Amino acid sequence: MLDALRKDVELLANPEKAKVLRGFFKTGSGQYGEGDVFLGIVVPASRKIAKKYADLALEEVLALLKSKIHEERLIALFILISQFKKGDIQIKKEIFRLYLKHTAYINNWDLVDLSADKIVGAYLEKRPKEILYELARSESLWERRISIIATFHFIKEGEYEDTFAVASILLRDREDLIHKATGWMLREVGKRCSEEAEEVFLRKHLEEMPRTMLRYAIERFSPEKRRQYLTRLH
């Protein structure tokens, strides 16, 4: 079945689109996506393939996740999400563990953003969250991004304490991609849960918060309120 999936992937390859994606996902020397291989397949088409092969054996999904081709890794994650949602407790646990064991292949922001909350966050909803804080302190950029994006699941359920706790760890992160992701999650807290709580967190950490993180966090505020927050930065 894996061979058939890969043939379907090859048929959708678009060299011109691939060229655009290589630039968009920063695959050049020294960039965060250095060396990643793109075929130029759009996300809706990847979702369609994942749906067609939703029952792919887990060992074959893992082989797909280890692919050098970006779109194949994305399809693998879509299949894992589908199997996680449908699976019993044991299947969910197995997929959660597989995901965290193979974060080296979940190595661009779209791969993280489309999967972390749906697998890691969903699994941890009613379980201890210590692993999120371990990930937040990881040397891996992508594991740190997983830590904050995973909390999106909790935010959707009206819970945001772990978002604030992980964000506090990431305040001093050196990577712009972490600043953006953290700001985005803080913004979602304000949008979906409590703008007041978001502002309390922002005021507490305003002086140490990276400007990009702050800008993302306050995007939904009024122009005047955004100006007030930004002009308080040094």
What does the pLDDT look like over 148-174, one tens digit per residue? 999 999 999 999 999 999 999 999 999
Both 167 and 93 in one domain: the answer is no
Both 101 and 128 in one domain: the answer is no
Residue 232: per-residue pLDDT: 72
Report DSSP state, residue 221: S
CATH number for the domain harbouring residue 204:
1.25.40
Both 130 and 26 in one domain: the answer is no
Both 94 and 123 in one domain: the answer is no
- Residue 233 pLDDT level (bands cut at 50, 70, 90): low
Q: Which of 85, 106, 127 is the last residue of a domain?
A: 106
Residue 49: per-residue pLDDT: 98
What does the pLDDT look like over 93-119, one tens digit per residue? 999 999 999 999 999 999 999 999 999
Please give the model's pTM, rounded to 2 decimal places.
Answer: 0.95
- Residue 234 pLDDT level (bands cut at 50, 70, 90): very low
* pLDDT averaged over every residue in the chain: 96
Q: Which of 106, 139, 170 is the last residue of a domain?
A: 106
Both 101 and 132 in one domain: the answer is no
Both 133 and 95 in one domain: the answer is no
Q: How far is CA 233 from the centre of its chain?
A: 28
Number of domains within the chain: 2
Task: Provide mean pLDDT across the span 196-224.
Answer: 96
CATH number for the domain harbouring residue 49:
1.25.10.90
Does 214 score more than 70 pLDDT? yes
Helix (H), strand (E) at residue 194: none
Both 210 and 99 in one domain: the answer is no
Residue % of the chain over a pLDDT of 70: 99
Both 73 and 133 in one domain: the answer is no
Q: Whole domain around residue 175: which residue ranges?
A: 115-234
Both 70 and 160 in one domain: the answer is no
Contact residues for 196 (Cβ-Cβ < 8 A; gap 6+): none
Residue 28: per-residue pLDDT: 87
| Cα separation of the two ends of the chain | 57
Smallest CA-to-CA distance from 229 within 185, 186, 199, 188 is with: 199
Q: Which of 47, 72, 106 is the last residue of a domain?
A: 106
Distances (CA, A) of 14 to 19, 73, 94: 9, 17, 34
Both 100 and 152 in one domain: the answer is no
